Amino acid sequence: RTDFALKEIMSSGGAEDDIPQAERKTVTDFCYLLDKSKQLFNGLRDLPQYGQKQWQSYFGRTFDVYTKLWKFQQQHRQVLDNRYGLKRWQIGEIASKIGQLYYHYYLRTSETSYLNEAFSFYSAIRQRSYYSQVNKEDRPELVVKKLRYYARFIVVCLLLNKMDVVKDLVKELSDEIEDYTHRFNTEDQVEWNLVLQEVAAFIEADPVMVLNDDNTIVITSNRLSETGAPLLEQGMIVGQLALADALIIGNCNNQVKFSELTIDMFRMLQALEREPMNLASQMNKPGMQVSSILVISLATGPCLFMTIKIYTFLPLLLVSSLEFQELPANSVLLIYLSATGVFPSGRSDSEGPYDFGGVLTNSNRDIINGDAIHKRNQSYKEMHCLHPGDLYPFTRKPLFIIVDSSNSVAYKNFTNLFGQPLVCLLSPTAYPKALQDQSQRGSLFTLFLNNPLMAFLFVSGLSSMRRGLWDKCQDYLRKINRDIAQLLTHSRSVDQSFLQFFGDEFLRLLLTRFIFCSATMRMHKIFRETRNYPESYPQLPRDETVENPHLQKHILELASILDVRNVFLENTLDDY
């Protein structure tokens, strides 16, 4: 590329000897930095998608080279324009690569401030129209670069809840796709139109709209804020464990998804992150974030702008093992499973950890209605099923498991072999028929863990609400969470594992939301079957938590604020 650039200079600027040495060196240095940056960026694909030590130093070198490249092209823009022929779309490519670096650093660390950095670079590309001249060149591969940039920008905006920007980007992307397919007879038109459809479905997945007085939609964030988790009151005796790593594993083929994220994975990802802060101040505050959230998509599908890792059982076990191996002392590994249920066929003579089924870890054509698979040959177990027994080795350290599946109850048959803190939060295995048609927009159980008020409104039959009433209900819900925290910590019969995890803000909030979810469903008139209720391992003392009269009274008061008290049972309070 350097030789080519110098030849271009000679042909456009006269004899090679007429080129000032300083300008020749500028072009040479730019070409070196450009080649080095591409080499390092391409090498990122070969890095393992798991573990901390293998990639951090490589990311650091890549960031360093791109920082130098970006500053260099800014300082020497005129020389590069005249002698190198630097085009604006090439500047946009550099900015896009930096945005991708920040985004992937966020994916590996869960530090949401890096999302803001990615947004800044992607936004600058759009504001400065770096890709505006691409459509004038007869090169479809350049247009695809532009389309991919839009898709990546949309992902970042979705994660930052910048829905107004998302809607503008979707319109622009739609126009770009129409122009692209009109000018070039390409085979990827269907895939790009699918991207548009997925984004549209994703941003409409929330079942309830919160409206301002002018009927504009309020964008609500579900990341942990300063006032999010109930505070520990003086005298509360809880453990000092801290959530360090999280594996978010998704394999729901029938759910709304965008990029590699199903809506359930997206919601759980946000439930395990803090609100973005100033990057400089956040980096100086230890213990602010979960150190690593690894997102693993097990679903297949076209993906034009991002690599999807397809994990079957053995690679999934390898990923979990490496995350487990790097877990610091006094730390917790969280595993979230949102996947199709695998049920045992017939009755087994034994009741071991491999006899109750589990969840599916790959795409399987034997899925019935996209929901469950029953192994036909009773002599063998489903080889791509993650059984409870497969997680036994990880119980040597504190382990917090959330299972959202039609066979979640398989995981209540755990045995705590090593005496370490262990909790499993398990979704209902079925919902009342009136709610089943909402499954494509995400699981109700995960929605409760992500946005309990929205889930409460949904089961109460409400689809929209004014912001003032929303804020009032959120304040009351915070009071409910504080009381749930007291119920749990004052309980004399609760398993100590729950209290060991209660010292961590994220896990404390998940536990209080789980109890609120379970109590709400048990009081709701249409949730009448046992399989409609969440369960846990170890079991919670019902009379002190999910069926506590004080909590039931709170739920009815929240229903009264919303004027939906009629959908809940009141006879549970007869003895209150």
- Evaluate the CA torsion angle 309, 314, 318, 319 in order and state its sign: positive
Please say if the pLDDT value at position 575 is more than 50.
no
At 10, is the secondary structure helix, strand, or coil? helix
Higher per-residue confidence, 449 vs 308:
449
Contacts of 379 (CB under 8 A, 6+ apart): none
Per-residue model confidence as pLDDT tens digits over 115-125? 999 999 999 99
Q: How many angstroms separate the most distant Cα atoms in the chain?
A: 98
Per-residue model confidence as pLDDT tens digits over 211-226? 998 888 888 888 887 7
Give the model's pLDDT for residue 235: 62
Give the model's pLDDT for residue 315: 61
Per-residue model confidence as pLDDT tens digits over 166-175? 999 999 999 9
Contacts of 273 (CB under 8 A, 6+ apart): 110, 112, 223, 224, 289, 290, 293
Least confident of 36-40, 261-265, 318-322, 510-514: 318-322
Give the model's pLDDT for residue 170: 94
φ/ψ (deg, to 5) at 493: -120, 0
The whole-angstrom separation of Cα 462 and Cα 457 is 5
The CATH number assigned to the domain with range 242-275+294-363+383-567 reads 3.40.50
The whole-angstrom separation of Cα 505 and Cα 224 is 9
Best CA proximity match to 525, nearest among 486, 550, 491, 556? 556
> Quick one: what percent of the chain has pLDDT higher than 70?
82
Read off the tokens for 113: 């401030």
Please say if the pLDDT value at position 200 is more than 70.
yes
From residue 385, alpha-carbon distances to 314, 334, 338, 531 in Å are 10, 19, 13, 21
Give the model's pLDDT for residue 347: 66
DSSP state of 80: I
Q: Helix/strand/coil (H, E, C) string of 169-214?
A: HHHHHHHHHHHHHHHCCCCCHHHHHHHHHHHHHHHCCCCCEEECCC
Please say if the pLDDT value at position 146 is more than 50.
yes
Single-letter residue type at 430? A
From residue 558, alpha-carbon distances to 131, 554, 563 in Å are 51, 6, 9
Higher per-residue confidence, 53 vs 156:
156
Please state the pTM of the whole predicted model.
0.86
Q: Where are the alpha helices (DSSP H) in 284-407?
A: 313-325
Give the domain ranges of the chain: 242-275+294-363+383-567
Higher per-residue confidence, 255 vs 69:
69
Mean residue pLDDT of the chain comes to 83
The whole-angstrom separation of Cα 7 and Cα 14 is 10
Q: Are 386 and 337 in contact (CB under 8 A)?
A: yes
Per-residue model confidence as pLDDT tens digits over 76-96? 999 999 989 999 999 999 999
Q: Are 362 and 299 in contact (CB under 8 A)?
A: no
Higher per-residue confidence, 296 vs 282:
296
Please say if the pLDDT value at position 410 is more than 70.
yes
The whole-angstrom separation of Cα 99 and Cα 93 is 10
Q: Where are the alpha helices (DSSP H) in 113-139?
A: 113-127
Give the model's pLDDT for residue 300: 37
